[in-house]
Structure 1
């Protein structure tokens, strides 16, 4: 979206909670690559989807500073739980602090390490999965979690526009492995008869997938 349409969309979207607004600001001021944060508009969408689905068990791959995890947790039922995986141990203290402040320490479980190694150790089945980790492994994550998602459950994949590089008209450079991986992944999901999918052109693209 353009800056103008983005501003208009945010102005007509329910505001962040004060805690999320603080985390948003803190991430932009203190953390490298703050663009990785889901942010206000996408965060409200994640919260809305979670409220609609009412997932009892949620898996997130790529916690970053915890913003999206807190948004997804807003729709958890009383007995719900969210497991989130972050590879960077330097972010652990910040994530745990905000989870505690949100009053979710008994329902949000943080796992530090490589997602491909951690996912098999977690018990299924998942009602909702949010994939927002390294893009080169989108397909590997997808194939690992899809069997664990209940029929009718959902998988969300972030950054599927990859700054527009997935568009057929974009000349991807031979060495741009992430762009090639995201484009191939999008094409694969479109042909995958195991799921139904909708590509949402929100921020850097969000792919919404429902397991048949």
Structure 2
């Protein structure tokens, strides 16, 4: 699948460079138009079926702060190891990931999560939860590592377009959280309006295939 634009993305770990990119084959039409949603729709989307969005009462069905699994969440990064909070006082971040709860956190609350390199993040409530219509592992010709290409449903595509328009060019990080782990935390250079993105990093084929399967099971 050809890339129409690449959003260069970095986490605070200097050795880890991630990419969040829009895919541009375009032969399926504009995903944001399938349900007639406008571009200014609120940036919150339920997953297909009964997956909860940020602030929904359905997110309270777990008795603990985290469930063992759940749909992917897209959250703004409030601060992270090496990146101070943006002007607001906050409780110090944990020194490491040993005390960070396992499992997908409740969508409607702030949370602490880590990535595989041990970076600790404080994350805002989820603005998009689930909404992944399809996902697959791919190895684009212009990249050396595998990526996960996903397509949002119409409601999530609209929400993601609004969110990326707001974050574009701000250097603020957007965390993608799966099973309580930050699998990518890119900055956004351009809005992604077509509901198609790629999550890239140093993924092997096995890792990308596993993530794609997890994304579409929720």
Q: When the two structures are superposed, what TM-score results if normalisation uses the length of structure 2? A: 0.29
Structure (1/2) with the larger strand percentage: 2
By relative contact order (CA 8 Å, sep 6+), the higher-ranking structure is 2
Structure (1/2) with the larger helix percentage: 1
